[in-house]
């Protein structure tokens, strides 16, 4: 069964790569100017492109032939993970991405940690007493927080903490205090959602017959939570990780741009701005395949927590 | 112990929840402002009057002026109309596409189902923001590109929920009974699927619209969205941020507008829990 | 002999409405006490008031004495310290009441360790001993989904008692079980009571009450109708209600002379075989169904009796063999009644609307509905309600009415009364058979209740799993 799930993830990875290929090819075709010249620039960098290089590319790709033939070559490059060089910086796409990944992972890690400390514990407490004052208070708070998009949260924090109070720098990278505001921005959004998820999962488990039975067996609330609660909400929480990833990626793009954090999201916005197709392709591929890899990890973790063959 | 004295449980409540009423009311207010403001106080959102930069409210601009002396009310209403229209079109297209494919997958099962699920899972792997940005490069008309990009992002949630709900309902005895009684697929959809799907689709649609509006504003905020001078909420905030100390209200207006819109949609999404 | 538990003037109320009228009961060691009643009679509420677990919005009054402690039923929190230590609860459907992710042994051991305070090693030893005693020695390491229903029930029983509880309260322990499994759980419960423990059982199942013996309380509409020693109450009931209840038990239905099949065959199955999950349900079954006959299929749960019915209707695939319908009969004249009546109707429209839809589709005569309602003893007002606002018995009769509009030649009734109360079950079954005779159609009843089948059908097919024989 697990091999079947992993096989499905492999197929998913293939389709993701194909979709990235289609989208970036269409992007390439939509740009104004000579396509061969741009592709040559994408391979060797703008400085190195000569009319000869462009002609060589045109001949190799058969750009005078129909579009689908060029598309097949485009896909072939992608299939070999040959992403070329950034049109703007002239450095290989993989090097650029590797460099930015570090900064992004640093920020995302800090945000995830922070949100994990805030969201799930509050949600579990609220779910155990569904309908209680904490539950209702948290509902209002998380509804309010979820109505604040992440860029707005960043804006609010900048205005409050940096402009009004002058406590922390609004932008920059390198010193420890630089990470606080962007990480907090991301974490608050994530926590608002993860608190809700944990609350619903916990309330659902606490309403199941085995939870009532555990109480009747004489176990205290704390014993119930430790022995029967946490593991049973585990599957829902692990599955939720994938969703967090999506939120995190979108958040990172926006938050990095606002706070000037030199990560992959910041670079993506620049690449779109500069129509740097190889960079866009590399980033899209990385994010898409990262999501698939996370899905596969989630599959494995889920089976570890809940080894039953057929799940309800 | 589940309550075995089943007749004591009242039949399930129907109709909108209080949260949905509140959400609907706020949304109506926002819509009323977006489309009503130009009728009340006609003004061109692009018309500059540098003499009036950051000036306070007057009869021609009841909410004051921005740094280039443009009417904030006219700009705010225009920006809301743009965001709400794009979100509305995208949600409608995504709803029709996702629901249709979801029912198809649940009904046909087999390889049709597997292929559609694989496609949906794969599209899901591409962050929505990225998808919208890429389509934005492919199609030069930005509002149209946003609508198409958002449709490609939003259909998945419609598809996944419709497919799961429809598969459960189609396997229930009620559908088998109706087929035995001679009813066709149209009847099964109308009587068995739609009553359960409709409230769920409203929730997905409201969340989808909220996502769309946030995405449009976020891209405007980082300057890769709707291009100036066309007014857009996120872009207005960036423009007005440098003048925060002189004219804080000017910055708060788009902030409040987007907060209320998203809040209204989130409230609208809170249907009854089974 | 001091009673283990006694309760005086227990009352349950919701929003000023009296759901359980003052009830008094005494539970003695070694002498089972059974509360018998139908759905909605308040029997579960009474038991819940005794252990302090009423659902939100309901309040109880009265005095409960457990051992030497006197508790006020109005203060449910005061009962909690007794849970597991003195009071053990065996919930409905125990396979849902075990933690799905934890091995059975650990779920028993935690009572010994966390409630009784034994060390980890001692608790584990004690749990193994408990499970051994119930014949589950080797199943201790398995999760609930790896246990059979009966094994899960025994594991839950051990878990409920591990904290040292002397009093077991069992809520509908035989819900949805066939006769064999019912006897098993009955023996298990009696075993706990045999060594001086207390047993309070809440049930709708007359056979279980009879088998448990001890004392019996009959409850109806929130009132105790009669109480006394079980044997005496069942042999010579005082109240009309108890008498009606006993008469409604399929085991005491009158036997009827089987009528030989006389009509033309409407359905013929040849060398029919079916399997599910790699297990053969029935093989090489030859069978023909004739107009005007009532055919019964019975057997333990999971034996494939419903699958056989579905296969005859063409709703399930056969592994081999074929089913032939008599020629020239419209397909809609082959119909089915479902086990769970509410799920067989469109949920969101009124019942009248659902019938009108059918009338419009087949251009039927809508005037036929009124006399049929009358024949079924149903109020026309029911048609303005949705399925969730109508009782199961009424709904099943409406489902029968709905198929009758199509003049069926063959009706497959799949456990049509297993979700209904005894008295309603007797009424619906009687009605179904009378109508089948009158209309001259073939009726196929599937039920896990061998008595019901034996006393209502002209011909019986007993499936016992791997092999099937036509009788």
pLDDT tens column, B87-116: 999 999 999 999 999 999 999 989 999 999
Distance CA(B247)–CA(B75), nearest Å, equals: 16
Residue A309: per-residue pLDDT: 63
Res B5: pLDDT: 39
Largest CA distance in chain C: 76
Give the pLDDT of residue C254: 87
- The shares of helix, strand and coil residues in chain B, as percent rounded to the nearest 5, are 75, 0, 25
CATH number of C5-249: 3.40.50.300
The minimum CA-CA distance between C101 and chain A, rounded to whole Å, is 6
Chain-chain contact of A250 with B134 (C-beta, under 8 angstroms) = no
Interface contact A228-C89, CB threshold 8 A:
no
pLDDT bin (cut points 50, 70, 90) of residue B3 is very low
Domain boundaries, chain C: 5-249, 265-470
Q: Does C95 touch chain A (CB under 8 A)?
A: no
Chains that touch C (3 or more CB pairs under 8 A): A, B
| Structural domains of chain B, with CATH | 17-39+71-268 (1.10.3720.10)
Q: Which CATH number fits domain C265-470: 3.20.20.60, 3.20.20.150, 3.30.1490.100, 3.40.50.300?
A: 3.40.50.300
What pLDDT sits at residue B4?
35
Tracing tokens 């585990």 back to the chain, one arrives at A234
- Tokens standing for B190? 């109308």
What residues of C are in contact with residue A303 (Cβ under 8 Å)? none
- Structural domain spans, chain A: 1-88+274-312, 101-273
Residue A310 touches chain C, beta carbons under 8 Å? yes
Q: Which stretches in chain C have pLDDT values below 50? A: 466-471
Distance (Å, whole) CA A15 – CA A33: 30
Q: How far apart are CA B254 and CA A148, in angstroms?
A: 12
Tokens of B61: 């601009």
pTM here? 0.85
Would you call C332 and B180 a contact, using CB atoms and an 8 Å cutoff?
A: yes
Average pLDDT over chain B, rounded to an integer? 87
Pick from A143, A212, A250: CB nearest B127:
A250
Residue A60 confidence (pLDDT): 66
Among the listed residues C22, C6, C15, the one whose alpha carbon sits nearest the alpha carbon of residue C61: C22
Q: Are C14 and B8 within 8 A, CB to CB?
A: yes
Q: Which residue of A has its CA nearest to C108?
A: A217
Burial C380-419 (b: 16+ CB within 10 A, else e): eebbeebbeebbbbbbbbbbbbbbbbbebbbbbbbbbbeb
Q: What is the pLDDT of residues C235-256, one digit of tens each?
A: 999 999 999 999 998 888 888 7
Q: How far is CA C426 from CA A3, C382, C447, C453, in A?
A: 53, 21, 13, 12
Query: What residues contact C413, with CB distance under 8 A and at least 6 apart?
Result: C336, C337, C432, C443, C444, C445, C446
CATH superfamily of A101-273: MetI-like (1.10.3720.10)
Taking the Cβ of residue C362 and every Cβ of chain B, the question of whether any pair is shorter than 8 Å is answered with yes
Q: Which of B168, B120, B104 is nearest to A8 (CA)?
A: B120
Calpha distance C306→C157 (Å, rounded): 30
Other Cβ atoms within 10 Å of A304 Cβ, number: 11
In this chain, the answer to whether the domains covering C5-249 and C265-470 adopt an identical fold is yes
Residue B77 reports pLDDT greater than 90:
yes
Decide if B67 contacts B21 (C-beta within 8 A): no
Closest residue, chain A, to B227 (C-alpha): A273
CB contact under 8 A, B191 and C313: no
Chains that touch B (3 or more CB pairs under 8 A): A, C
| pLDDT interval class at B6 (50, 70, 90) | very low
Asked if B8 has any chain C CB less than 8 Å from its own CB, the reply is yes
Strands C198-203 and C167-171: parallel
Å from B261 to nearest chain A CA? 8
What is the predicted pLDDT for the residue at B263? 93
Chain C residues 32-91 within an 8 A CB cutoff of chain A:
51, 53, 80, 83-85, 87-89, 91
Question: Percentage helix, strand, coil, to 5, in chain C?
Answer: 40, 25, 35
Across the interface, whether the CB atoms of B180 and C336 are under 8 A apart is answered yes
The secondary structure of C407-424 as a DSSP string is: --SEEEEESTTTTS-HHH
Tell me what pLDDT residue C153 has. Answer: 84
Give the minimum alpha-carbon distance from B49 to chain C in angstroms, rounded to a whole number: 59
Strand order in the sheet with C33-37: C87-90, C167-171, C198-203, C33-37, C215-220, C223-229
Write out chain A's pLDDT in tens, 312 residues.
778 888 999 999 999 999 998 998 888 888 776 667 777 777 676 666 777 777 777 766 666 666 777 777 778 877 777 777 777 777 888 888 888 888 899 899 999 999 999 999 999 999 998 888 999 999 888 888 888 888 889 888 888 888 888 777 777 776 777 888 899 999 998 998 899 899 999 999 998 889 999 999 989 999 999 999 998 998 888 888 777 888 888 888 888 888 888 888 888 888 888 888 888 888 898 889 989 999 899 888 888 888 876 543
Token pair for A305: 């927590």
Which of B87, B222, B247 should we substitute to test contact with A (largest number of A Cβ atoms within 10 Å)? B222
The Cβ-side half-sphere exposure at B9, using a 13 Å CA radius, reads 12
Of C53, C143, C159, the CB nearest to A217: C159
Chain C stretch 314-333, residues whose beta carbon is closer than 8 A to a beta carbon of chain B: 315, 331-332
| Cβ separation C44–B3 shorter than 8 A | yes
CA distance C49 to C63: 10
Structure tokens at A104: 């992004």
Choice between B95 and B16, residue whose per-residue pLDDT is larger: B95
Give CA–CA dist A66/A55, Å, rounded. 17
Pairing of β C215-220 and β C223-229: antiparallel
The end-to-end CA distance of chain C, in Å, is 53
Using the Cβ of C398 and the Cβ atoms of chain A, whether some distance falls under 8 Å is answered with no
C92 neighbors B2 (Cβ within 8 angstroms): yes
Task: From chain A, pick out residues whose CB is under 8 angstroms from the CB of C100.
Answer: 210, 232, 306, 308
pLDDT value, residue C432: 92
Residue by residue, DSSP assigns A35-49 as HHHHHHHHHH-GGG-
Strand partners, C413: C337, C445
Q: Which of C88, C89, C93, C101 to mutate to test the interface with A (most CBs of A within 10 A)?
A: C101
Contacts of B2 (CB under 8 A, 6+ apart): A209, C91, C92
All residues at 6 or more sequence positions from A77 whose CB lies less than 8 Å from its CB, including other chains: A83, A84
Q: Which residues of C touch A231 (CB under 8 A)?
A: 101-102
Burial (CB count within 10 angstroms: exposed 0-12, middle 13-18, buried 19+), residue A222? exposed
Question: Measuring CA to CA, which residue among B257, B254, B255 is closest to residue B265?
Answer: B257
Does the pLDDT value for residue B159 go beyond 60? Answer: yes
Query: Which pair of tokens denotes residue A29?
Result: 């075709």
Contact: B181, C41; criterion CB under 8 Å: no
A157: closest CA of chain B, how far (Å) = 13
- Chain A CB contacts of B135 below 8 Å: 23
Burial B178-190 (b: 16+ CB within 10 A, else e): bbbbebeeebbbe
Which of C314, C322, C265 has the alpha carbon at shortest distance from C442?
Answer: C265
Task: Please name which of C335, C285, C279, C333 lies closest in space to residue C310, comparing C-alpha atoms.
Answer: C335
With CB atoms and an 8 Å threshold, state whether C48 touches B1.
Answer: yes
Task: Name the residue among B159, B148, B86 with its Cα closest to residue B121.
Answer: B159
Q: Which residue from A156, A269, A280 is facing B222, i.e. has the nearest CB? A: A269
Beta-bridge partners for C199: C168
Question: Between the CA of residue C245 and those of A299, B66, C43, C255, what are the distances in Å?
Answer: 53, 82, 15, 18
Provide φ and ψ at A283, rounded to 5°.
-65, -45
Q: Is the CB of residue C447 less than 8 Å from the CB of residue C298?
A: yes
pLDDT for B191: 93
- Quick check: ipTM above 0.85? no
């Amino acid at each position: 069964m697990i091999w079947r799930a992993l096989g499905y993830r492999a197929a998913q990875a293939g389709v993701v790569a194909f979709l990235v290929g289609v989208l970036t090819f269409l992007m390439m075709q939509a740009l104004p100017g000579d396509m061969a010249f741009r592709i040559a620039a994408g391979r060797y960098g703008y400085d190195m492109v000569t009319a000869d290089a462009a002609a060589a590319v045109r001949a190799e790709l058969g750009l005078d032939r129909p579009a689908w033939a060029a598309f097949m070559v485009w896909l072939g490059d992608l299939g070999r993970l040959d992403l070329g060089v950034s049109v703007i910086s002239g450095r290989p796409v993989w090097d650029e991405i590797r460099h930015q990944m570090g900064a992004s992972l640093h920020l995302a890690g800090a945000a995830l940690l922070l949100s994990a400390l805030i969201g799930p514990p509050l949600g579990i407490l609220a779910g155990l007493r569904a309908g209680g004052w904490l539950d209702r208070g948290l509902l209002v708070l998380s509804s309010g927080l979820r109505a604040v998009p992440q860029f707005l949260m960043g804006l609010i924090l900048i205005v409050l903490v940096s402009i009004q109070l002058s406590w922390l720098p609004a932008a920059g990278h390198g010193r420890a205090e630089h990470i606080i505001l962007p990480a907090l921005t991301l974490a608050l959004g994530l926590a608002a959602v993860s608190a809700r998820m944990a609350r619903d999962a916990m309330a659902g488990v606490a309403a199941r017959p085995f939870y009532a039975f555990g109480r009747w067996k004489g176990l205290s609330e704390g014993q119930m939570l430790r022995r029967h609660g946490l593991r049973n909400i585990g599957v829902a929480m692990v599955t939720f990780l994938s969703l967090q990833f999506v939120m995190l990626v979108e958040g990172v793009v926006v938050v990095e741009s606002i706070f000037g954090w030199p990560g992959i999201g910041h670079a993506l916005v620049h690449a779109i701005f500069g129509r740097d197709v190889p960079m866009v392709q590399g980033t899209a591929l990385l994010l898409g395949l990262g999501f698939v890899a996370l899905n596969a990890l989630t599959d494995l973790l889920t089976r570890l927590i809940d080894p039953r063959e057929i799940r309800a | 112990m589940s309550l075995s004295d089943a007749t004591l449980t009242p039949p399930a409540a129907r109709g909108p929840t209080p949260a949905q009423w509140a959400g609907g009311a706020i949304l109506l207010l926002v819509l009323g402002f977006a489309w009503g403001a130009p009728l009340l106080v006609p003004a061109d959102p692009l018309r500059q009057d540098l003499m009036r930069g950051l000036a306070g409210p007057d009869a021609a601009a009841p909410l004051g002026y921005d740094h280039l002396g443009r009417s904030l009310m006219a700009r705010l209403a225009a920006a809301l109309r743009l965001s709400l229209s794009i979100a509305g079109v995208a949600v409608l297209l995504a709803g029709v596409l996702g629901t249709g494919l979801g029912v198809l997958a649940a009904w046909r099962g087999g390889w049709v189902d597997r292929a559609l699920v694989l496609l949906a899972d794969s599209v899901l792997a591409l962050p929505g923001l990225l998808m919208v940005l890429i389509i934005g490069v492919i199609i030069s008309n930005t509002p149209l590109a946003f609508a198409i990009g958002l449709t490609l992002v939003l259909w998945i949630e419609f598809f996944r929920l419709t497919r799961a709900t429809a598969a459960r309902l189609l396997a229930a005895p009620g559908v088998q009974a109706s087929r035995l009684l001679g009813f066709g697929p149209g009847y099964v959809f109308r009587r068995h699927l739609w009553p359960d799907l409709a409230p769920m689709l409203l929730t997905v649609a409201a969340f989808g619209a909220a996502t769309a509006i946030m995405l449009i504003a976020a891209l405007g905020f980082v300057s890769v969205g709707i291009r100036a001078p066309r007014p857009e909420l996120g872009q207005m905030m960036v423009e007005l941020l440098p003048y925060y100390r002189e004219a804080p209200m000017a910055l708060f207006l788009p902030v409040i507008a987007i907060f209320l819109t998203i809040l209204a949609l989130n409230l609208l999404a809170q249907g009854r829990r089974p | 002999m001091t009673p283990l538990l006694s309760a005086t003037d227990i009352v349950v109320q919701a929003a000023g409405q009296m759901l359980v009228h003052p009830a008094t009961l005494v539970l003695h060691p070694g002498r089972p006490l059974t509360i018998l009643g139908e759905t909605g009679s308040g029997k579960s509420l009474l038991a819940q008031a005794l252990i302090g677990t009423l659902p939100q919005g309901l309040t109880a009054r009265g005095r409960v004495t457990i051992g030497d402690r006197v508790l006020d039923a109005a203060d449910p929190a005061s009962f909690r310290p007794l849970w597991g230590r003195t009071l053990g609860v065996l919930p409905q459907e125990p396979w849902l009441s075990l933690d799905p992710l934890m091995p059975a042994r650990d779920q028993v051991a935690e009572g010994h360790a966390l409630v009784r305070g034994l060390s980890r090693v001692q608790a584990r030893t004690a749990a193994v001993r408990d499970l051994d005693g119930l014949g589950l020695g080797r199943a201790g390491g398995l999760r609930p989904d790896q246990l059979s229903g009966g094994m899960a029930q025994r594991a839950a029983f051990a878990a409920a008692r591990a904290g040292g509880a002397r009093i077991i309260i069992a809520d509908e322990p035989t819900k949805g079980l066939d006769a064999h499994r019912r006897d098993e759980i009955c023996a298990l419960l009696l075993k706990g009571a045999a060594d001086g423990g207390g047993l309070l059982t809440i049930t709708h199942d007359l056979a279980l009450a009879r088998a448990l013996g001890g004392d019996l309380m009959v409850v109806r509409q929130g009132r105790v109708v009669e109480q006394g020693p079980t044997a005496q109450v069942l042999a010579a009931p005082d109240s009309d209600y108890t008498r009606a209840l006993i008469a409604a038990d399929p085991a005491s239905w009158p036997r009827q002379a089987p009528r030989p099949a006389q009509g033309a065959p409407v359905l013929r199955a040849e060398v029919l075989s079916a399997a599910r999950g790699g297990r053969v349900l029935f093989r090489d079954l030859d069978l023909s169904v004739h107009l005007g006959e009532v055919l019964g299929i019975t057997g333990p749960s999971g034996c494939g009796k419903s699958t056989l019915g579905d296969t005859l209707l063409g709703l399930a695939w056969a592994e081999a063999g074929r089913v032939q319908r008599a020629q020239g009969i419209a397909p809609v004249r082959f119909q089915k009644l479902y086990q769970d009546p509410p799920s067989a109707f469109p949920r969101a429209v009124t019942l009248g609307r659902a019938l009108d839809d059918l009338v419009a589709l087949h251009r039927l005569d809508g005037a036929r509905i009124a006399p049929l309602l009358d024949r079924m003893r149903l109020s026309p007002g029911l048609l303005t309600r949705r399925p969730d606002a109508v009782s199961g018995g009424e709904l099943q009769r409406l489902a029968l009415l709905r198929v009758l509009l199509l003049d069926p030649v063959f009706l497959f009734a799949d456990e049509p009364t297993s979700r209904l109360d005894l008295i309603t079950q007797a009424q619906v079954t009687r009605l179904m058979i009378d109508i089948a005779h009158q209309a001259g159609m073939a009726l196929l009843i599937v039920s896990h209740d061998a008595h019901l089948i034996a006393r209502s059908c002209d011909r019986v097919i007993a499936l016992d799993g791997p092999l099937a024989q036509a009788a």
